[in-house]
Amino acid sequence: MKIELIGIDGLPEIAPGADLGDVIVSRITAMGHSLSSSDVLVVTQKIVSKAEGRIVPLSSVEPSPFAALWAKTHHLDARLVELALRESRRIVRMDRGVLITETHHGFVCANAGVDVSNVSGGQTATLLPIDADASARALRAAIAARTGAEMAVVISDTFGRPWREGLVNIALGTAGIEPLHSFVGSTDPHGFSLQATVQAVADEVAAAAGLVSSKLSRTPVVLIKGLTYQRGMGTGRDLLRAPERDLFR
């Protein structure tokens, strides 16, 4: 098997209301790449949030006393702390200036995914899409309408994780791809039954794309060709471990 990861750079600045499907297809076409139903398109959350207007001017944010105290203690921007709290339903860890929360969607990440990098001047914040699966489905439909190619779409973001250093890209939302590939009941090449192997394919897709779309490269879209994947209706939320199944809660 041979897989290609193609970085799509040179996109224009994405403003609220932008037709992201049109922008991406135009750029891919201009770069001379074809689009096929067997492709996977990975799009970083930031440009999806921008297109969906999930942008907040920091000057409009009034921090609560709780946010203000935490920010003052740890030399943080209280407005960003406030936004992170608003985007959260539960605080998972709050220590040494690090705020890890569970977002309203159920994602566990630093600062509820609120980010100021890559936004003009650092004076606005982006929030995660309200429903990244819906974002992925809409983008998939828009691309199919323009090109006829019904490819998989993954919306990615950069998350930290327990136990291990550094950030990796993960799948926030998916469309047209089963995010989990189960080998339960399969037998491996030696005839040994694989009891409990479930591969998080969508997260591996996002991580692979992360190699191309690093923070500094202005490459928010990666086109993946040659990957054999299971088509399906699974969502990025399928990747969230249910609390009753999570040994770490």
Q: List residues near its own copies by CB under 8 A.
A: 1-7, 93, 95-96, 98, 100, 108, 116-122, 158, 161-170, 179-181, 183, 186, 188-192, 194, 197-201, 203-205, 207-208, 210-212, 214-219, 227, 238-241, 246-248
**For its own copies, which is the closer residue by CB, 84 or 142?**
84
For residues 222 and 44, what is the distance between their CA atoms, to the nearest angstrom?
9
Q: How far is the CB of 210 from its own copies (least distance, A)?
A: 5
Tokens at 243, concatenated: 């609390």
The least distance separating its own copies from the CB of residue 151, rounded to whole angstroms, comes to 16
- Closest distance to its own copies from the beta carbon of 248 (Å): 4
Comparing CA positions, the residue from 172, 161, 233 lying closest to residue 202 is 172
Q: Which two tokens stand for residue 38?
A: 């067997």
Assigned token pair, 188: 């491996």
CB 216 within 8 A of CB 239: no
Q: 34 exposed, middle or buried (CB, 10 Å; 0-12, 13-18, 19+)?
A: exposed
Which CB atom, from 60 or from 163, has the smaller least distance to its own copies?
163
Q: Which C-beta is closer to its own copies: that of 142 or that of 239?
A: 239
Q: How far is the CB of 101 from its own copies (least distance, A)?
A: 12
In the block, tokens 């799948």 appear at: 171
Q: Closest CB to its own copies among 12 and 65?
A: 12
Backbone angles phi, psi at 42, to 5 degrees: -110, 125
CB of 187 to its own copies, least distance (A): 8
**Which one, 26 or 219, has the nearer CB to its own copies?**
219
Which residues partner with 202 through β-bridges? none
Estimate to the nearest angstrom the gap between the alpha carbon of 209 and the chain centroid. Answer: 11
